[in-house]
Amino acid sequence: MKTRLGRIFCLAAVLMVAATVSAQTTQVVVIDSSAPTHPFPHFWEQMFGSGRAVLSLRDSYRRDLREVKQVTDFRYVRFHAVFHDEMGIYDEDAQGHPTYNFSYLDQSYDGLLANGVRPFVELSFMPKKLATNDAPHAFWYKPIPWPPKDYSKWDDLIKQFARHLIERYGISEVNQWYFEVWNEPNLDFWMGNPKQPTYWELYDHTVRALKAVDSRLRVGGPSTAQAAWADDFIRHCAENRVPVDFVSSHVYGDDKSEDVFKTHESIPRNQMVCRAVKKVHDQIKSSSMPSLPLIWSEFNATYMNLPAVTDSSFMGPWLADTIRQCDGLVDLMSYWSFSDVFEEQGVVQRPFYGGYGLIAAGGIPKPAFNAFKLLHQLGDQRIEVNSDSVLATRMPDGSLIVAAWNYSPPEQPGPSRSITLKFKGIQAKEAWISTADPEHGDVHPAYEKMGSPQYPTSAQLGELRKAAILAAPVKQELTNGELTLTLPTYGLAVIRLE
C-alpha cells in the first residue's frame, strides 16, 4: 500500500425527490418483479481489512469494529503482521531454540470473537530472529519481509500456532477461519529472490504444516497485489499436489493497467476492480481446479491517501457500482479497511487525511460507512434490470429494495441526474427513500464549519458524529407505479417499496 497526501475536493449538491423533474434528460429503468433473478449474497460486507495485528488490542479499534458490525454483515477481519515481534509470539533462547508466547494473540482473537467477528489469518511477517535478513519494510511499524533462515523452525512456528488455536478455540471454530499465506509477495512485502519460486517454497511449507495439524484448516494464497500470479499459483499447486482451499488477490481502483493486465489502457477507477476480479475468476474457471473459491482480500477505490476519494461521498456510488459489476465473480471481497486505527504511514495526525477506513480517527463515521449501511439493506435475490446505475433486489418476504446512484470521477464532479423507476407486477403504493450524498451523511461541512481542527475536542467529536448520521427515510408516493429521483453528483439512494 503506497500513500501520498491528497486534498479534499469541496462537494456541494442537493438531493431532490419529486414526481416531476426539470428539463434534463431522465433515465427510465423498468423493474419487473417477475423478471429473472439470481442469488445475491452480500459478498462485499462479510469481510474487512484493518490495521496490523497489535492494533486489535486497542479500545478504539474494538469500538470501530462494533460500529461496523452493527451496520454490515461483518464476519471476518484480516490484518497484517501477526508474527511481528511486537506480538511476542516467536523468540529464541540463548542457544537458538524457539520459544513461543501466545498471550497477545489470545487477547486479539478473544476480542474479535467476543464481538462476533472471526479472524481471516494472514500469516505474516517474519519474526526478526527467524529472518534471513532483518532489514525492514518501509512501513512505519517496520515489518520484516524476508524468508525464514531455517524452514524447520518456520514449520514448527506454524504448527505450534495452529495447535494453540485449536486447543483454545476448538477445531469446530477454527475450521471456519481462513489462513492466507503472506501478503502481496509480488511486491516488496516479500524479499525472496526470485520472488515466485521462493514464495512457492514458503506456501508449500506453510500449507503442509497447517494441514499436518488438522486437514480441515482452510489455507490459500497467493495474496498478490494487482491480480497477479493466480494462474501460476494454481498450476504450481496442481502439478506438485500442494493443498489449496481458495485463491486470493488484491487490486485498487487506481492500479495501472500495465501492472494488472500488461496493457496500456486507461481503465476508469470504477471499472478497474471488477475487471481485475474477472481476470482471476476466469483464470480459476479455466484451470484444473475450477471450483476454487475466490477471495478478494483487499480492495478500495485507491491505494493512496486521497481525501477526495476515501473520505468523501464519492465512495457511495463507487461502492454500489463495484458491487453491481463484481456480482457473481467472487465469493468474498474485503474492503480495506474498516477503521482508520491504522499506522502504516505513522501515527494518524488528523481525522481526514484520506485514510482507508470507514471510520475516521475519533470514531467519526465517513460517507463510506453510510454507503455500507445503506447497501446492507439490499435483498438476497437480484432482479435483472437494464441499467449501470441501478441495483434491484428482492427480500425473502417478497418486498423490493432498489439502489440508485449518480457516479462521477472524484476529480470531475458531474451534474445531477434524474432516474425514473417504472415498477411492474407490484402492489406497492409508496416508497421509503434513504439518501447519502454530499449534504446527507457527509461530515465534512460540519468539520469545515468548526475550522477543520487537527485535534477535535470531545465536544467537537460528539458534534461530528451527529453530523455523520443519516436522515430518516423519506416517504414518497408512487405515481402510476413510477418513482422519479433526482440525484446530485456522488448521490446514492436506497428505496424500499411498501
CB atoms within 10 A of CB 240: 9
**Could you tell me the three cell numbers for 232?**
501460476
Respond yes or no: is residue 45 known to be catalytic.
Answer: no
**Are the beta carbons of 289 and 243 closer than 8 angstroms?**
no
| Catalytic residue (one of 184, 201, 265, 430) | 184
DSSP per position, 158-194: HHHHHHHHHHHH-HHHHTTSEEEE-S-TTTTT---SS
**Could you tell me the three cell numbers for 9?**
475536493
**Are the beta carbons of 456 and 362 closer than 8 angstroms?**
yes
| Catalytic residue (one of 122, 180, 298, 344) | 298
**Are the beta carbons of 342 and 42 closer than 8 angstroms?**
no
**What single letter denotes the amino acid at residue 304?**
M
Respond yes or no: is residue 122 known to be catalytic.
Answer: no
∠ Cα 214 218 222 (to 5°): 125
CB atoms within 10 A of CB 85: 18
Task: Spell out the residues 6+ positions from residue 336 whose beta carbon is closer than 8 angstroms to its own.
Answer: 1, 48, 49, 250, 298, 299, 300, 356
302-337 as b/e: b if 16+ CB within 10 A: bbbbbbbbbbbbbbbbbbbbbbbbbbebbbbbbbbb
Active site residues: 184, 298
